[in-house]
């Protein structure tokens, strides 16, 4: 593995328009855009499904089916279909991000509706007994209690997107995947190994950030699967 450390230790590989820092930034930008779009679509739908119980079987089946989609084939298909309709670099960026969004939706969706479904029904009944209507129960009781599973879904989606975004380099997009594609083209095994290590390291860093964020925003009392009526009243009295 000497070639790996030689490549990572070369300062020239860290600077410039094709340097490691630039590629990491590109990878994070693509991943962040993907997560924001996927969350904007999946979280409201998941909350609605979990709160109302409607269309649950349909949503679950569609989400599970999306997990089985062949990523690379879908990526090339999206570029071939949508690419000619878009100008310049957007011909590659938009289809690639669209595919990543499709792949990121299932875990976020599952976390949202599973989180709401896991809320103790006694807590929901207590909220209704205090005069809350549907949307108030969702926003003040079910949503806060569902945060651990919702963030778990986002965390899972983030790791999946960071790993899958590497394939976007195969359709001329940037990011850390460029090191794998270019390294293979030039038989530069140090570059290939370095790209793989950087992707794994970036995923680990993002995972640690999500764990820290979850500990920061989720109340310790919500780490338990049981929400008592007393805890509910305390939560409502402080908000």
pLDDT digits (tens, 9 = 90+) for 124-148: 778 777 777 777 788 777 888 888 8
Q: Cα(197)–Cα(203) distance, rounded to whole angstroms? A: 10
Q: Cα(71)–Cα(119) distance, rounded to whole angstroms? A: 34
Q: Tens of pLDDT along 91-126?
A: 888 888 988 998 899 999 988 888 888 887 777 778
Which CATH number applies to 2-237: 1.10.3720.10, 2.160.20.60, 2.130.10.10, 1.20.58.1880?
A: 1.10.3720.10
Global pTM reads 0.83
- What ranges do the domains of the chain cover? 2-237
Answer yes or no: are the C-beta atoms of 3 and 72 closer than 8 Å: no
226 SS3 class: coil
Answer yes or no: are the C-beta atoms of 18 and 210 closer than 8 Å: no
Share of the chain above pLDDT 90, in %: 30
Q: b/e map of 84-100 (b: 16 or more CB within 10 Å)?
A: eeeeeeebbbbbbbbbb
Confidence of residue 90 (pLDDT cuts 50, 70, 90): confident
pLDDT of 37 strictly over 50:
yes
Helical H runs in the chain?
2-9, 20-52, 56-67, 71-82, 90-117, 121-129, 134-137, 143-164, 177-185, 189-217, 229-237
Give how far Cα 131 sits from Cα of 128, 177, 186, Å: 5, 54, 68
Of 74-88, 92-106, 214-228, the range with the lowest mean pLDDT is: 214-228
DSSP labels for 117-169? HTS-HHHHHHHHHTT--HHHHIIIIIHHHHHHHHHHHHHHHHHHHHHHGGGGG
Confidence of residue 224 (pLDDT cuts 50, 70, 90): very low
């Amino acid at each position: 593995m000497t070639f790996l450390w030689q490549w990572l230790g070369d300062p020239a590989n860290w600077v410039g328009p094709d340097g490691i820092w630039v590629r990491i930034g590109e990878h994070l930008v693509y991943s962040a855009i993907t997560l924001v779009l996927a969350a904007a679509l999946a979280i409201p739908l998941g909350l609605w499904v979990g709160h109302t119980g409607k269309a649950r079987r349909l949503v679950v089946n569609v989400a599970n089916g999306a997990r089985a989609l062949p990523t690379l084939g879908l990526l090339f298909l999206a570029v071939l279909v949508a690419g000619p309709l878009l100008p310049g670099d957007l011909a590659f960026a938009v289809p690639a991000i669209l595919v990543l969004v499709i792949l990121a939706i299932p875990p976020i969706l599952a976390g949202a509706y599973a989180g709401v479904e896991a809320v103790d029904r006694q807590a929901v009944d207590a909220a209704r007994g205090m005069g809350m209507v549907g949307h108030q129960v969702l926003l003040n009781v079910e949503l806060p209690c569902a945060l651990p599973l919702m963030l778990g879904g986002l965390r899972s989606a983030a790791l999946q997107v960071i790993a899958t975004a590497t394939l976007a380099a195969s359709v001329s997009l940037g990011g850390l995947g460029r090191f794998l594609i270019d390294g293979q083209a030039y038989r530069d095994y140090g570059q290939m190994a370095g790209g793989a290590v950087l992707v794994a390291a970036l995923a680990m860093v993002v995972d640690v950030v999500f764990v820290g964020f979850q500990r920061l925003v989720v109340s310790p009392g919500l780490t338990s699967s049981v929400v008592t009526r007393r805890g509910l009243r305390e939560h409502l009295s402080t908000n």
